[in-house]
């Protein structure tokens, strides 16, 4: 995408008008009247002159460079406008509605538009969008009224109406924007393209996005990983409530909700997910105003004990924590403060605190290893609210910690809070919100280099063999692989399976070396093998095996059977691949057994990841108790398990055609015995 789409030196408005209430009129006025300094061209064949300017019949008539064309004509004329302009204009913002959001005919129009974009190598924002706003250029190329303040927040919105509301609220919060971009139908310029553009936009410190969907999850995560190393991405993702999922026949598939996968995917890319609209504003305000806390140690200073306790409570379950002051610090605080003050953290300055106490304590804390400072205030009779705001603003100039305030009240604090925000101090009406936002900002800052994880080496031979096995099953019109086939594939990916003897109808029974064995039906028709009809346990010798075979073959005529040596169970793991609509193959793993769904000790991983990253995730995940050795149990082997997951991830990356995949159970041991997959289900 070229820079001059969002920072144009010349703009044409196609569908410019002066009829009241028309979108073309609003856009024309927004561009002409708010101070934009670039060249502007009006296009509308119905006028010669408009707003005292020459009006062109078509883009092609302009004959001067046009960086971007804003198109507000009815949907049915849009393709003609683009065709006419494509030779000279490369960037289009299609505000017009009536495309894929609007039935089959609209979808056809959008397809035509998309083809034109490809053919002429155009950048198209929209269609069906609000437009964009670049406050620093005093450019409002949208049909939202007014001009927000210039600042360092880039805001990308999939909802125009919400963008209007957010801009209105942002004004109240003294937040400023580098860009506001409405993506509309995201026909071509989607969230990924905009991330890539904003990555290098010098004015943008933080990228905020309101998204209802993600167009290409894999591409999006890759871009987000890269961008979030440079600047925070805060996303308010709507649509948490799951759509009806397509029929799921694997067990792992049912364990993963799409919103949980969204959480994991965002975390894997260093994206900060906002809980709700309030959190979204809080995060944008904090990040816009403050640098990230340089460490996890926080200090709270307050003129009200109760508000201090509420703030302390807010640290529960967070990564940032109240610093423990050393004796020297406490002594220094005590020297500054009246005898009844608390020199613990929170520092209680007492109800009669003036600005000097805040000032002195802020100065003192500046010399300590503190990453963030929250200044709490309640407006008591003696409280000089404005003066305290002033010393906090002053302290920010030299303080290395991220400073936020929690001024609680209404009228008595109103103008001081405005003053704080005008001077880039984020104020939170609610202590919990302050800590929540600081914690997320801090976690983003330490989440470190992510880059693109290298998955294991791809192996064309291995992939060929898998393709052959699958092709054979498809030829035979089977919906799933047989266990010996699945086991062969697993071994190719380094996953050990329990030995299996295939017993084919009409073929001689193979020599079984180890008894006792379990005999079961191996068929995609019988998916729940624990079904007692399809399973005979604890077969002690060859004679018993033959009669068991007889019995099952009677129950399921023509079915293939499989005999496996009985395994001693220690701990059961379930793992598999879930196909997510957005992010593609997702690895699911967790504690198996009959209560898998009850305990929900399940985690998700988004490929690709290196074995080291996988291991580190496992050791931080819900199963860490196994690999740490909880309650006096010997630890299970994290390296072995990480290698198994890595094998599964390689399989997922190499074999996109597999719809669902379960290993259930995988037995793992903490006594040096090798982990082995007892059952593997590969659904085509």
Q: Rule CB under 8 A: say whether 234 interacts with a second copy.
A: no
166 lines the binding site for a second copy (CB under 8 A): yes
558 Cβ contact list (under 8 Å, min separation 6): 505
Does residue number 386 form part of the binding site for a second copy (CB under 8 A)?
A: no
Contact flag: residue 275 with a second copy (CB under 8 A):
yes
Closest CA to 193 of 220, 154, 157: 220
Task: Name which position in 11, 70, 170, 194 contacts a second copy (CB under 8 A).
Answer: 170
Helix, strand, coil percentages in the chain from 3-state DSSP, rounded to 5: 40, 20, 40
Alpha helices, H only, 459-525? 460-475, 483-492
Q: Is 60 in the site for a second copy (CB under 8 A)?
A: no
Q: Minimum distance between the CB of residue 621 and a second copy, rounded to whole angstroms? A: 12
Compute the distance between CA of residue 483 and CA of residue 529 in angstroms, rounded to an integer.
12
Residue 550 sits in the site that holds a second copy (CB under 8 A): no
Q: How far is the CB of 242 from a second copy (least distance, A)?
A: 9
Q: Is 313 in the site for a second copy (CB under 8 A)?
A: yes
Q: Which of 83, 219, 412, 463 binds a second copy (CB under 8 A)?
A: 412
Of 56-64, 313-321, 440-448, 519-527, the window that binds a second copy (rule: CB under 8 A) is: 313-321
- Site map (CB under 8 A) of a second copy, residues 578-607, x = contact: ----------------xx-xxx-x------
- Shorter beta-carbon distance to a second copy: residue 601 or 677: 601
Q: Footprint of a second copy on residues 251-270 (CB under 8 A)? A: 259
Helix H or strand E encompassing 388: helix 385-398
Provide, rounded to whole angstroms, the least separation between the CB of residue 213 and a second copy: 10
Interacting positions 443-482 with a second copy (CB under 8 A): none
As measured in angstroms, the least distance from the Cβ of 274 to a second copy is 11
Residue closer to a second copy by CB (options 90, 520) is 520
**DSSP structure string for 265-317:** HHHHTTPEEPSSHHHHHHHHHHHHHSPPPSSSEEEEEES-HHHHHHHHHHTTT
Residue (of 199, 202, 183) closest to 191 by Cα position: 183
Q: How many binding residues for a second copy (CB under 8 A)?
A: 75
CA distances from 194 to 129, 139, 598 (A): 14, 18, 41
**Span 322-361, contacts to a second copy by CB under 8 A:** 340, 351
How many helices (H) and strands (E) in the chain? 22, 29
Token pair listed for 557: 């005529």
- The answer to whether 410 contacts a second copy (rule: CB under 8 A) is yes
The window from 68-76, 184-192, 574-582, 623-631 that contacts a second copy (CB under 8 A) reads: 623-631
80 contacts: CB under 8 Å, gap ≥ 6: none
Q: Is 629 in the site for a second copy (CB under 8 A)?
A: no
- Kindly state whether residue 100 participates in binding a second copy, applying the rule CB under 8 A: no
Distance CA 90, CA 67 (A): 7
Q: Minimum CB separation from a second copy for residue 636, in Å?
A: 13
Which residue is associated with the tokens 């099953």?
A: 473
* Residues 655, 658, 659, 665, CA torsion sign: negative
| Range in contact with a second copy (rule: CB under 8 A) among 273-281, 324-332, 495-503, 509-517 | 273-281
Q: In this structure, what are the phi and psi dihedrals at residue 128, rounded to the nearest 5 degrees?
A: 60, 45
């Amino acid at each position: 995408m070229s820079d001059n789409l969002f920072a144009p030196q010349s703009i044409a408005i196609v569908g410019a008008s002066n009829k009241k209430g028309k979108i073309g009129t609003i856009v024309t006025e927004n561009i002409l009247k708010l101070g934009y300094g670039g060249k502007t061209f009006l296009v509308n064949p119905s006028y010669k002159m408009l707003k005292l300017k020459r009006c062109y019949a078509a883009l092609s008539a302009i004959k001067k460079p046009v960086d971007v064309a804003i198109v507000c004509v009815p949907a049915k004329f849009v393709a003609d406008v683009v065709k006419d302009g494509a030779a000279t204009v490369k960037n289009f913002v299609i505000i017009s509605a009536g495309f894929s959001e609007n039935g089959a005919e609209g979808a056809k129009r959008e397809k035509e538009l998309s083809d034109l974009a490809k053919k002429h190598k155009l950048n198209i924002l929209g269609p069906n969008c609000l437009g964009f706003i670049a406050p620093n250029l005093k450019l409002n190329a949208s049909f939202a009224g007014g001009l927000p303040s210039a600042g360092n927040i880039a805001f990308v919105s999939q909802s125009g109406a919400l963008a209007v509301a957010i801009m209105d609220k942002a004004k109240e919060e003294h937040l400023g924007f580098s860009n506001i971009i409405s993506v509309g139908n995201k026909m071509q310029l989607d969230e990924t393209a905009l991330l890539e553009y904003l990555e290098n936009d010098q004015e943008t410190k933080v990228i905020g996005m309101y998204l209802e969907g993600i167009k290409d999850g894999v591409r999006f995560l890759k871009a987000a990983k890269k961008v979030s190393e440079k600047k925070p991405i805060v996303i308010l993702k709507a649509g948490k409530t799951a759509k009806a999922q397509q029929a799921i026949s694997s067990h792992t598939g049912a364990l993963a909700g799409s919103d949980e996968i969204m959480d994991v995917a965002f975390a894997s890319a260093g994206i900060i997910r906002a809980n709700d609209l309030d959190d979204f504003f809080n995060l944008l305000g904090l990040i816009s105003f403050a640098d990230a806390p340089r460490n996890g140690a926080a200090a709270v200073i307050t003129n009200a004990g109760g508000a201090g306790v509420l703030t302390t409570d807010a640290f529960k379950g967070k990564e940032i924590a109240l610093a423990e002051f050393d004796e020297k610090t406490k002594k220094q605080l005590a020297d500054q403060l009246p005898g009844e003050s608390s020199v613990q953290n929170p520092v209680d300055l007492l109800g009669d605190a003036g600005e000097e106490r805040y000032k002195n304590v802020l100065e003192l804390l500046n010399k300590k290893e503190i990453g963030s400072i929250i200044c709490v205030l309640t407006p008591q009779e003696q409280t000089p609210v404005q003066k305290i705001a002033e010393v906090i603003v002053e302290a920010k100039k030299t303080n290395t910690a991220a400073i936020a305030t929690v001024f609680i009240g209404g009228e008595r604090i109103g103008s001081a809070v405005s003053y704080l925000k005008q001077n880039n101090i984020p104020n939170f009406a609610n202590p919990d919100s302050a800590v929540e936002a600081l914690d997320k900002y801090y976690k983003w800052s330490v989440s470190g280099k992510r880059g693109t994880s290298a998955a294991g080496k791809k192996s064309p031979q291995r992939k060929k063999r898998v393709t052959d096995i699958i092709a054979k099953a498809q030829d035979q019109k089977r919906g799933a692989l047989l266990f010996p086939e699945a086991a062969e594939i697993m071994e190719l990916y380094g996953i050990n399976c329990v030995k299996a003897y295939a017993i084919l109808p009409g073929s001689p029974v193979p020599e079984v070396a180890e008894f006792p064995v379990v005999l079961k039906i191996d068929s995609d028709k019988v998916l729940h093998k624990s079904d007692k009809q399809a399973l005979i346990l604890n077969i002690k010798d060859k004679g018993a095996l033959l009669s068991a075979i007889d019995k099952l073959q009677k129950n399921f005529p023509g079915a293939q059977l499989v005999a496996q040596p009985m395994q001693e169970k220690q701990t059961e793991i379930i793992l598999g691949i879930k196909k997510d609509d957005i992010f593609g193959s997702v690895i699911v793993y967790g504690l198996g057994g009959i209560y898998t769904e009850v305990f929900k000790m399940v985690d998700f991983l988004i490929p690709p990841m290196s074995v080291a990253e996988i291991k580190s995730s496992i050791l931080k995940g819900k199963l860490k108790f196994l690999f740490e050795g909880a309650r006096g149990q010997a630890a299970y082997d994290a390296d072995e398990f990480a290698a198994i997951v890595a094998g599964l991830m390689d399989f997922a990356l190499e074999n996109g055609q597999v719809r669902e995949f379960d290993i259930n159970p995988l037995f793992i041991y903490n006594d040096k015995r090798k982990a082995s997959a007892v059952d593997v289900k590969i659904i085509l």
